[in-house]
Structures are given as C-alpha cells and as structure tokens.
Amino acid sequence: MSRASVSTTALWSRRAAPSGPDNAAPERAPKAWGKDDIVEPLAAAANLPAPMGDLSRATVDQLLDTACSVLPRSPIQLDKRRRSIRRLAEHLSGFEGGTWQARWEASGWETSEEPLASMNPAPTASWRMTSGLSWLVAMRAVVPSVRTLRRDVVSGWLEKTELRVR
C-alpha cells in the first residue's frame, strides 16, 4: 500500500486535481476587499409562500377547518385551537378591511405599545388571543412585523409555520 500523503490545495486534493491542458483548473478571481464585500439585503418577495393556499379573504370557518386539518392533536387541543382562532378572528372582524391583513393593520396592534397578550383571558380559560395570532401567522392570513412577532407570538409558533397539507 502506498504511503503517499494527500494534502488539500485549492479546490482538489493533489490526487483528484485535474491533469492535462483540457482539464485545467479554473483560475480564481482575486479577492476584492472593501466596499465590494458588502452584501445588500434582498427585498421580501411580493408573494409570500402560502402553504395552505390563499387565506387572506377566508371566512372564520375556513380558517378553523384549515388550522384543524394540519398537525392533528387530541380533541381537547383542537377545541382550544378553534376557540383561540375564532376569538381573534371575531375581534379582527370588527375592523374595516377586505383581508385579514388589512383588518390586522386597522386594529392597531401592529403599532401598539401594549402587547396582544393583554387581551388574553384569565389563566383558567382554555384559549389565548396570542395563540390565535400564532395560527393566523402560520397560515399566512396575517403577516405581522418582526417586532410584533417577537412581542406577541407565543412560543412554539415556529412548528406551526411548517404546516403541511396531509
């Protein structure tokens, strides 16, 4: 067995490096330092992905059916999910707008200093406004700002954002 050493140079090990003029390695571009290294952020996509379809104008019952069709849980948990979504949707329905996003913005919660959790009922209740918001965000019916997500969306909402139709 050969005891040849293999060291990494550039993109290939010495054994895997192309040989011959036809397989010459491409020349590396010189590294430019300074302003060329600054990466400009990309603007958000105009049409965000909607794994459950367009729910921007869905009825409350359509939202409930969609939310309960994914991530199946026990009947008790599904009932809590339904009540949380229904309470927030009914609250938002009182504001002007043709879409849930427009109603959300008209509600003032996006810019409010007070968190949405202030509308949560007593701890003995089995529903939460913040849980309803988490589900509306996960279904892309409402797209709040990052500030609102940090302030109002309950823990575990990330698992809801990975909704898949089964």
How many folded domains does the chain comprise?
Answer: 1
Tens digits of residue pLDDT in 78-106: 999 999 999 999 999 999 999 999 999 99
Task: Determine, yes or no, domain membership for 41.
Answer: no
| 133: CB partners within 8 A, 6+ apart | 88, 116, 142, 144, 152, 153
Task: Determine, yes or no, domain membership for 52.
Answer: no
Task: Determine, yes or no, domain membership for 49.
Answer: no
Task: Determine, yes or no, domain membership for 4.
Answer: no
Q: Write down the pTM of the prediction.
A: 0.64
User: What is the Cα–Cα distance from 38 to 17, expressed in whole angstroms?
Assistant: 32
What angle (nearest 5°) sits at the alpha carbon of residue 32, between those of residues 26 and 36?
120
Task: Determine, yes or no, domain membership for 157.
Answer: yes
Tens digits of residue pLDDT in 106-155: 999 888 888 888 888 887 777 788 889 989 988 889 988 888 888 876 65
Task: Determine, yes or no, domain membership for 137.
Answer: yes
Tens digits of residue pLDDT in 2-34: 565 555 555 555 555 556 666 555 565 555 555
User: What is the Cα–Cα distance from 139 to 105, expressed in whole angstroms?
Assistant: 17
Asked if 89 and 127 count as a contact pair (C-beta separation under 8 A), the reply is no
Task: Determine, yes or no, domain membership for 76.
Answer: yes
Domain of residue 76 covers 60-161
